[in-house]
Structure 1
Amino acid sequence: MATRMYWWGKQLSIGVISLFFLIFGIDLLISIYRLNSPHEFIMGFFAASLIILISAVGLLYPAVRIFTRLRTKNVDEDDSNQ
């Protein structure tokens, strides 16, 4: 039971932290368009894009893990009912 709660807590915390950084990256990307220096714009644009990319993967990771776990759980329940 404790390992199950730990697993769900881990997935939830990864998702929440990734969501925070996704929002932060989008806000950073929007604010970068106000810069006047082309060098700062390019550096900031790539930095914000990297933050968004990593946080999107961080959101997909727990989503796929949860989907797989629920799907295999349903398959196991269907097999035991037959």
Structure 2
Amino acid sequence: MKYNWWIFQVVMMLISVFFLIFGIDLIIGAYSLGDPFSFIMTFFAASFVILISLTLMISFMIKMFRVYRQIKIQANQPTNNSES
């Protein structure tokens, strides 16, 4: 497997973690708003950011786990290079 794929997956997972932290900070900040309309809009926007970032983070982890498991299985199989 190319190293670029692994680097891309890790970078995308780190970006997802950044947006997760941003969403949590935004949802905490929503509670300090005085206007009920602003609170509701900020709360639901932050919840949406958290939902998307968690979904992407989980999908990147599942992809990396599946590829790692496939590489491990292929490495454990004996090579069958029989010459006729």
**Shorter-normalised TM range:** 0.7 to 0.9
Alignment partners' CA distance in 2, 1:74 and 1:38:
53
Code of the aligned partner of 2:61:
A
Distance 1:35 1:56 in 2: 25
User: Unmatched 5+ residue regions in structure 2?
Assistant: 80-84
List alignment gaps of at least 5 residues for structure 1.
none
Match of 1:75 among 67, 73, 76: 73
Letter in 1 for 2:43: F
Higher helix share: 1
Alpha-carbon distance between aligned partners in 1 of 2:5 and 2:38, rounded to the nearest angstrom: 41
What's the TM-score once normalised by structure 1's chain length? 0.87
| Candidates 34, 37, 40, aligned match of 2:35 | 37
Residues in 2 aligned to 1:78 and 1:26: alpha-carbon distance in whole angstroms: 42
Amino acid at match of 1:16: L
RMSD between aligned residues: 1.5
Moved over 6 A (4+): none
Larger Rg: 2
